[in-house]
Amino acid sequence: MTTLSFPARRYDTGEPVRVTISGGAIKAIEPAWPADPIADWPFVAPGLFDLQVNGYGGVWFSDRSLTREQVLAAIVPYFAHGMTRLCPTLITNSFEALSAGFTAIRQACEEHPWLDHVVAGCHLEGPYLSAEDGPRGAHPKAHIRQADWHEFCDLQKTSGNRIRLVTIAPEVPHAIDFIRRAVASGVRLSIGHTAASTEQIQAAAEAGATLSTHLGNGAHPVLRRHPNYIWDQLGESRLSASIIADGHHLPASVVRSIVRAKSVGQTILTCDASGWAGCAAGEYENELGKVEVLADGRIVVAGQREILAGSGAASDTCVAFASRCGAATLPDAIDMISRNPARFFGFPEQGLRAGAAADLFLYRPSASVDRLDIVATIVVGEVRFGEIAGKSGGTNL
């Protein structure tokens, strides 16, 4: 294991410190007393942890042809964005395609121990979602189906018990029983892509659902003013909310409103990066459908401009937007996509303290308001991106 020692400023207090890492963990964080100005010192923060990442560069985790090598190719680029843990997300598809995706992820994790750490768990978003236009979003209608516990158990076995989060619409047949069983098995359940009634949302929360998936998206373009399924989830204290703060999925006023209603502690930022993230502007097609990557960064269902098909952004963009739009301070925005997801899953909370896993990223204040200026990303004590203390980033594949 690599030993590292470097000076930085704490992201939460600005205090100059020296961070020492050994054996994959933070050995010490001690006050530093520099003789020179610290304006050029980077800030150090817990690594970003995104619970909804669909792929990258044309690779989709729910693709029936997914390979172990493609899993690596789709995850490694996120180190450049300060991400140290993530949930590969498989969206609505046939059982065969989902099984193939989970198989490839399992095999890649079994082959590379560092990847097994980075993959905090898999997120199954669908196929038990609303079939209605609007709530269904870009999920293929042909594969939407009723909740099937036995199908899920087969997928969970295939994944090597890596499915930790499932997004479900409470109104689909057998959904409430599915939620109860999944929660009892240790899986977190989230409400999303839904047109559920007030009573159905309450029933899902009572059964154990604890999150709303990308609240405010995957919805009808026009809703009655109240009640509706967005208000019902916003006002349900048993539900935390994940939001896509990429600057395209939600207006700044909505991001601010959700954070203030839920609180910083109950809001989780996600990029919901599409498998087309990182691709040049143009049209793309796979078995999930045809999309267009626009010059402004949006990814939309081809032929229109209103229905988004995931995001082209990464987690650091969401941190920057949440801070820039006034929804949170920069330290709070970082916590919403580092400490909050870890707490949501019941993992040891990420933080800057001796004994914690050395999953960190370093950044500098940037003249650009679109994303953070990432200096280095450290995963279990190894520099995976950038350079720090004479160590350069790299991933041995």
Q: Which residues does 142 contact at the CB level (< 8 Å), separation at least 6? A: none
> Distance between the two ends of the chain, CA-based, in angstroms?
17
pLDDT single digits (tens) 90-111 = 999 999 999 999 999 999 999 9
- Tens-place pLDDT, residues 275-293: 999 999 999 998 888 999 9
Taking CA atoms, 327 is separated from 138, 237, 266, 374, in Å, by: 27, 19, 13, 22
Q: Percentage of the chain surpassing pLDDT 90?
A: 87
Query: Omega of the bond prior to 140 within 30 degrees of 0, cis?
Result: no
Q: Read off the tokens for 135.
A: 């709530």
Cβ neighbours around 208 below 10 Å, total: 17
Distance (Å, whole) CA 247 – CA 294: 14
Chain-centroid distance of CA 144 in Å reads 23
- Say if CB 80 and CB 376 are below 8 A apart: no
Name the residue with tokens 């203030």.
260
% of the chain surpassing 70 pLDDT: 97
Model confidence at 177: pLDDT above 90: yes
Give the whole-angstrom CA distance, residue 330 versus residue 332. Answer: 5
pLDDT band at 245 (very low <50, low <70, confident <90, very high): very high
310 φ/ψ angles, rounded to the nearest 5 degrees: 85, -175
Residue 397 has pLDDT above 60, yes or no: no
Per-residue pLDDT reduced to its tens digit, 24-70: 999 999 999 888 888 889 999 999 999 999 999 999 999 999 999 99
Question: What's at 55, amino acid-wise?
Answer: G
pLDDT range class, residue 396, cuts 50, 70, 90: very low
Mean pLDDT of the residues in the chain: 94
Q: What is the pLDDT of residues 293-320, one digit of tens each?
A: 999 999 998 888 888 888 999 999 999 9
- Which residues neighbour 368 within 8 Å (Cβ) at sequence distance 6 or greater? none
Global confidence as pTM: 0.95
Query: CA-CA distance, 45 to 336, in Å (whole number)?
Result: 12
Quick: pLDDT tens for 121-157.
999 999 999 999 999 999 999 999 999 999 999 999 9
Cα gap 320→337, rounded to integer Å: 12
